[in-house]
Structure 1
């Protein structure tokens, strides 16, 4: 049972321009269909490995609405920004972006990987197909919205 997926979109922009946008979690509300705001927390003021932020989520774009605590796992400017969603001290889901040179721009891949605990495996076994489709559509929407901004600014 695969509890992961990804979407890649080509962008005619520099890796640095894309990186600056996607690693600024305070702008996620402009792009994500589910997370409508985020803020750095626990003393963090910007992207760095180990930094924390909270995301304000409207599940499936309609509700319920809740805050999630996230910790940045990978922070490689121009290459990768990855964070894990936490429930207490437990990792629930890892989300990230990879940027790779391609043609006159970059390919940007957004991905997720659910933690392999038994509760999430049961959830994915029942609702995985539906949630997977929602995640794929959301990732594509997010990347297309980012593309529109970075290409317009180029």
Structure 2
């Protein structure tokens, strides 16, 4: 896969399986994620596995929007990834968490690829209020990973 449009990483003093559990437990999402406030499974599959779908509710300041996502990778303790669609029909991004065991817990890398068509990127700037989406995502990833660390470490 190509270079991500934004990425960040953090060392977390918790087992990769514990961190994966936090990432895929949508009930606690708002307590650690910087932009996605809520997610809910849709369709028949209600768990993290390839093909499962969910809706994510996002906010940036006063602006809010929802996206429909399809899980593309779900390996407990290793990887959780999903493809994002706007209005349920236009591919706009891929998001991925990779967890690597370390002596003290795990390294968590969060990455995203902006795969929207050029005209959709312009619409996205208006909807999200983020003219520099890559920079905005990078800053939010740092905040998100810090929140994930706090929750996964039990703080």
Which whole-Å CA distance do the structure 1 matches of 2:118 and 2:132 have between them? 19
Give the TM-score normalised by the residue count of structure 2: 0.84
More helix, by proportion: 1
The match for 2:133 is 131
Residue correspondence of structure 1 range 4-153 to structure 2 within 5 A = 4-58=5-59, 60=60, 62-87=61-86, 88-115=88-115, 117-120=117-120, 130-152=132-154
Aligned length: 148
Which whole-Å CA distance do the structure 2 matches of 1:67 and 1:120 have between them? 15
Which whole-Å CA distance do the structure 2 matches of 1:36 and 1:6 have between them? 20
| Structure 1 stretches of 4+ moved >3 Å | 120-124
The 3-state SS of whatever aligns with 1:138 is: helix
What's the RMSD between the two structures over aligned residues?
A: 2.3
Which whole-Å CA distance do the structure 2 matches of 1:128 and 1:63 have between them? 12
